[in-house]
Amino acid sequence: MPGLYFEQFSEGQVFEHSWTRTVTEADNVWFSSMTMNPAKLHLDAAYAATTEFGQPIVNSLFTLGLMIGMSVNDTTYGTTVANLGMEEVRFPKPVFHGDTLHVRSTVLSKRPSRSRPGQGIIEFRHEAINQRDEVVASCRRSALMLGRS
């Protein structure tokens, strides 16, 4: 399914993305290792057992990337020129191995680009939600989108 063009978005539009993803220990170990993040809280189960979480927590940047990635198919696949920024990134609850996430995206605003005729900027609010209906991550993302013209 292709993404939407700038003109197809409307302020207040909500996307309940149908994809879900169960996060695995391998996801966390590989991502943490690839990004050179040796934090024991992600990689050392014995250490993590002594923390307030009692188990390893998933690297928050993996969660951020997964959250945005899960939104792409319904919104920006093939129609994004560039991500312009992410703000207000929050992780109110930890993600653990075995958690299953789904994502909701809301269009906060849209405006035509001042410097790129035929393109526009969409501001999204993305939220990742676990199987307990807890928001585990959120962010505001601005994307430069292709227009139909």
Residue 117: Cβ-neighbour burial (10 angstroms; 0-12, 13-18, 19+): exposed
Residue 73 has pLDDT above 80, yes or no: yes
6-23+59-146: which CATH architecture?
Answer: Roll (3.10)
Whole-angstrom distance, CA of residue 38 vs CA of residue 17: 32
Residue 1 has pLDDT above 60, yes or no: no
Confidence of residue 110 (pLDDT cuts 50, 70, 90): very high
Cα separations in angstroms, 131 against 8, 30, 36, 135? 30, 23, 29, 10
